[in-house]
Amino acid sequence: MKKTAEARAFHRTKLGTIFHADSLDVMAAMAPASVDLIVTSPPFALTRKKEYGNEQEDAYLQWFKSFAKEFHRILKDSGSFVIDLGGAWKPGAPVRSLYHFKLLIMLCEEFGFHLAQEFYWWNPSKLPTPAEWVNIRRIRVKDSINTVWWLSKTEWPRASNRRVLQPYSPSMHALLANGYKAKLRPSGHDISSKFSINNGAAIPPNLLAIPNTESNSNYMRYCQDNGIKAHPARFPADLPEYFIRMLTDPGDVVLDPFGGSCITGEVAERLKRKWVCAEMSLEYLAGALGRFKHPANERAVAKRRWLL
């Protein structure tokens, strides 16, 4: 990287760097086709202004174009771009914005990305919002899904679902124990005898059920102990971990251009990937240091979501 970007380095680890800088400046100093995975949760196009700097819906697509151009330039042909986006409601009406769908179409039709697959992150712990339509008038249900677009530079990005296999359900264990008779189902699907082979784990769906309930992590304790306000819109570690596992190998380069509290960097460090995070808020970066003050080993003893 150029010295101008190097001078903005806020913190370094064995594998990664946090930059206190606009990610456009950081990416401008990166070589073409040098990144294996971009995974991020940018500010959403919310109709109510948030403290973390979201863009208004009407200006969102135009604002995002400069980033899209750089993402495509620095991504390897085998690489992927994963973006987590929350939806938005039209001001004063119980109808939804289409901005995240428009962004997807723009990225594919104008910037040459391919939609490898759409994912949906279901946050079971999300509060019932918007209050006006959900709690007061009771004419909508709570909004608890984020869209997660998995995009790629070519039609054949490097990926393996074997790295995100999940434990079998109790019903699958019962089926394996009791046996299954191969037959044609009413739906027309021909279920062969191979269906009853025990492969040790299940291929996950594209619905990611991940609660966002972090309360006692190294990061939260560090913020509390040092009087630092935690980032108000963190995504849970399991979300970037899923895609880092599935789409990269140890030693690959992972970028989060909207780093926030740098959870992507923490996960990448633990999984032995090289990484770069960029964030413009010094307050958020002050808290992010807590992710690297001690080894991120607390999740090693937690219940694992993946079998690998």
Choosing from 23, 36, 84, 97, the catalytic residue is 84
The residue written with tokens 């962004």 in the block is 103
Active site residue 41: yes
Give whole-number Cα distances, 26 to 98, 105, 145, 245, 278, in Å.
Answer: 30, 26, 31, 24, 7
* CA 15 centroid distance within chain: 20
- In this structure, what token pair is assigned to residue 277? 């995070």
Q: How far apart, in whole angstroms, are the C-alpha atoms of residue 238 and residue 303? A: 12
Determine if residue 115 is left, alpha or beta; phi over 0 gives left, psi from -120 to 50 gives alpha, anything else beta. beta
The three-point CA angle 242-27-81 to 5° equals 30
Are the C-beta atoms of residues 38 and 255 closer than 8 Å to each other?
A: yes
Nearest to 259 by CA among 43, 74, 103, 4: 43
Verify whether residue 84 is a known catalytic residue.
yes
CA 244 vs CA 18, 51, 235, 261: distances in Å: 18, 28, 14, 17
Distance of CA 123 to the CA centre of its chain: 13
Task: Let me know if 69 is exposed, middle or buried by CB neighbors in 10 A (0-12, 13-18, 19+).
Answer: middle
23, 36, 41, 261: the catalytic one is 41
The residues that are catalytic are 41-42, 84
